[in-house]
Structure 1
Amino acid sequence: MAIVEETYLNQKGTLLDCSAHLAQLTQPVAPVAPRTENSSTRTTLPRIQLPQFSGKYEDWPVFRDLFQSLIDKDGNLSEVEKLHYLKVSLKAEADSIVRNLPTITENYRRAWTMLCEQFENKRLLVRSCLTKFNSLQKMKTESAPELRKNS
């Protein structure tokens, strides 16, 4: 019985291949635009929430990396759109740095540079991580639940 089924499936595949080949021969040939490496098809995925950045140094590396991946390196977005996304992603102290810049093409790189100059300070980044580490409460017992509670 397995041999019969396998033979049937092989013959069916051959028939479908021949049918597809015949269909291609009977259709008029239309010029096809060459596919470039930059063109990409997008599938519909759940929307990704843009990260919010308030100006805390310990949050800067995560915000920077995610914003660059989602917005900055997207070749389909104009500089104005990138600046808009940047402005709506900022709040508090970080927002005050670029708030007064008009939303025009030339200001996206300027705004990003201003943020990097303010928050790429390695000394302040390390200090904020150490401060957060030192502010952890001492564990009362050596247990996993106690460790999770402090993190």
Structure 2
Amino acid sequence: MTDDIERIQFEELYFELTARAQRRLAAIRPSVSVGNVDTSLNQLVAQNVKTNIKLPTINLLTFNGRYEAWLSFYDNFKSIVHDNVNLTPVQKLQYLRSSLTDEAAQVIQALETSSQNYDVAWALVVERYDNRGIIIQSHIRALFDLPRLSKESPTQLRSLVDAALKHTRALHALGQPINSWDAILLYLITSKLDRNTYKEWERFLDGTDMPSIDIFGNF
């Protein structure tokens, strides 16, 4: 119902503006045709509608202090909030507080919510967590800590592989030479397989050469 009312109001306004434009242009420049007026107005209206399209709301990521999640949070918050010139420092600080949880929230807990404290708060969070060495180590530790499959399950196997890929891609983005880590990654992943799946993996192998991650993906 609301959309219908807005459409009707828009059409009424459009036709009213069209009539006004036609009268004014006809008085100033009699040679201007109605067709040209309609075309110009249609282009103007189309441009205005295009620039006022409502895009889906982008939700802010939350961050609890886990280093392996820092880069995703940093990129998300910086692009949506920190670099947004339409937000005041107080608003940015409020968004920052609402995005931090657990250990990360404690970093700025003592700061009052004021314009002067946003830059201080953001600097404290970045200083604490923007540590490339620790982030790399956290992703490597997460690979070693992948959960072992308790039984033969395609769903659990897919979750295992997805988790391994998430951390390896993050390490690649951090400049680590994961393209030469196939032997290590294969050991880490296959050591988490249940007994039946591991036997199927051994039967799947052809020859004695060291398989690649891509071959395991095919499996």
Q: Which has the higher contact order (CA 8 A, sep 6+)?
A: 1
Does the pair score TM above 0.5? Answer: yes
Which TM-score bucket, shorter chain as reference?
0.5 to 0.7
Question: What do you get for the CA RMSD once the two structures are aligned?
Answer: 2.8
> Out of 91, 101, 110, which is 2:101 matched to?
91
**TM-score normalised to structure 1 length:** 0.67
Give how far 1:125 is off.
0.6
* Structure in which a larger fraction of residues adopt helix: 2
* Distance in 1, Cα, partners of 2:148 & 2:66: 24
Partner of 2:120: 110
Which runs of 5 or more residues in structure 2 are unaligned? 1-31, 39-50, 164-219
Q: Tell me the equivalent position of 1:18.
A: 33
After the TM superposition, which residues 1-150 of structure 1 pair with which residues of structure 2 at under 5 Å, given as runs? 18-19=33-34, 21=36, 43-137=53-147, 147-150=157-160
Which 5+ residue runs of structure 1 have no aligned equivalent? 1-16, 24-40
Q: State the one-letter code of the partner of 1:64.
A: Y
After TM superposition, where is structure 1 displaced by more than 4 Å over at least 4 residues in a row? 20-23, 137-140, 144-147
Structure 1 CA distance for aligned equivalents of residues 74 and 116 of structure 2 = 20
1:108-151 deviation per Cα after TM superposition (whole angstroms, max 9, x unaligned): 111111001100111111110000011124679xxx76641313
Q: CA deviation at 1:20?
A: 5.3
May I ask how many residue pairs the two structures share in their alignment? 119
CA distance in 2, matches of 1:69, 1:42: 21
Identity %: 32
